[in-house]
Structures are given as C-alpha cells and as structure tokens.
Amino acid sequence: MISEESRLNLAHQNLRSVPKTLINSFQTRVKIIDLSNNNIDDVSFLRSFSSLTCIILDHNDIGSDTVFPYLPNVTIVWLNYNNVHTISEFAKRLASSFPNVQQLSLMGNPGVPHCREETFYDYLRYRLYVISCFNRLQYLDDRPVTDHERQEAVRLFGSPLLEKLSLITDTFVGAVSKLRQYITSPQSHRPNVI
C-alpha cells in the first residue's frame, strides 16, 4: 500500500475520502499521496498527513469552493480534470493552504482556458493571475514559470507579499495614529489603560 518512497497510492478506488484506518496507519509516513480517479470533493482528511510534500488529486470532484487544510510542506499539487469553475478565489485559497508550492497543475478544469489561438489571451491571463498568487511557483500546468511571466504577473495583479506588506503597513499606521491621538489628548480625556 505504501512504497519505499513514502507514496500512498489510492488511485482508482472509487473513494469519497480516505478511510480512517489508513489515515491512522500512515499519517506520519506518507509524503506523496495519489488519489487520482476517485470521487473526492472534501479534502479535510489531508490535514492528518503532516509530512505530505505531494498531493495528486486528478480526476476527482474538487470544486471552486473546496478548501484545503494548511500544509506548508507541500510543494507539488496536481488537480487536473476536476470541477473548478472559478479560478480567482480558488487560487488564493490554494496559495494560503500551500505557501511553498512549486509545481501546480490545474489543466482540464472548466475554469482553465485551453492554450489555443482563439483562447490564448484568456489562457495567458489565467496563467499570469495564478503565478501572481504563488511566490515560489516554478511550474504551472505543463510549462515552467519564466522570470518574464513572474514580472508581468506582479505588474498586472500584484503579489501576495506586497498585499501582506500593505496590510501590515496599514495596521501599523493605524496603531501609530491612535497612539499619537492618545498622547496628544488632554489627560482628563484619556481612557484608563489599566
């Protein structure tokens, strides 16, 4: 069931989830989990596999609203041929769940445009948007991420790091403003801190 390379292969098993007995037996040893060609739409069971580095969920029922647990060690995620119709929010949630992903494949989902002449602009926009969500992404679908693509993605969509820095800056400015207001107000108008 589990190979020498710590791979758990449960492909083609008609599963909706991973049985608890398997989770309990292998949760700390599995690094690669292949759940291709099943009927999985709820992936909450993945949180039990703390050592995962690779998740293969091709040909399942993963939808745009699916939320993955936070798994910072995962570097490879394959979600080809599922039911993801809306990429924008899905990609943001994936980036939050897998902050260190280097290889991501979403081909064959309804929300992923094909790379054809008539849909090339939509495909390029999809590709740049997804790249903008992941700081460490090296491969998207079947192609490497180039430096030019990364620069263009940041130019068009910003980057997760810039968004976080902006949020931190806004919070800091707000705190300094409140502190300044507290210090400059007359002592009789100050609330008791302790």
Same domain, 85 and 13: yes
Give yes or no for residue 162 having a pLDDT over 50. no
Same domain, 31 and 104: yes
In a domain, 185, yes or no: yes
What CA–CA distance (Å, rounded) separates 117 from 148? Answer: 21
**Tokens at residue 62, please?**
């993963």
Q: How many domains does the chain have?
A: 2
Give yes or no for residue 163 having a pLDDT over 90. no
Q: What is the SS3 assignment for 37?
A: coil
> Chain centroid to CA 128: how far?
15
**What pLDDT, in 10s, does the model give residues 73-105?**
999 999 999 999 999 899 999 999 999 999 999
**What pLDDT, in 10s, does the model give residues 114-140?**
776 666 878 889 999 999 999 999 999
Task: Output the domain CATH number for residue 67.
Answer: 3.80.10.10
In a domain, 2, yes or no: no
The predicted structure's pLDDT at residue 133:
93
User: Could you tell me what percentage of the chain is helix, strand and coil, using 3-state DSSP and rounding each to the nearest 5?
Assistant: 40, 10, 50
**What pLDDT, in 10s, does the model give residues 24-57?**
998 899 999 999 999 999 999 999 999 999 999 9
Domain extent, residue 122, equals 7-158
What CA–CA distance (Å, rounded) separates 35 from 74? Answer: 15
Q: Rounded to two decimals, what is the model's pTM?
A: 0.78
Give yes or no for residue 155 having a pLDDT over 80. yes
Q: What is the SS3 assignment for 58?
A: coil
Same domain, 143 and 103: yes
At 102, the amino acid letter reads Q
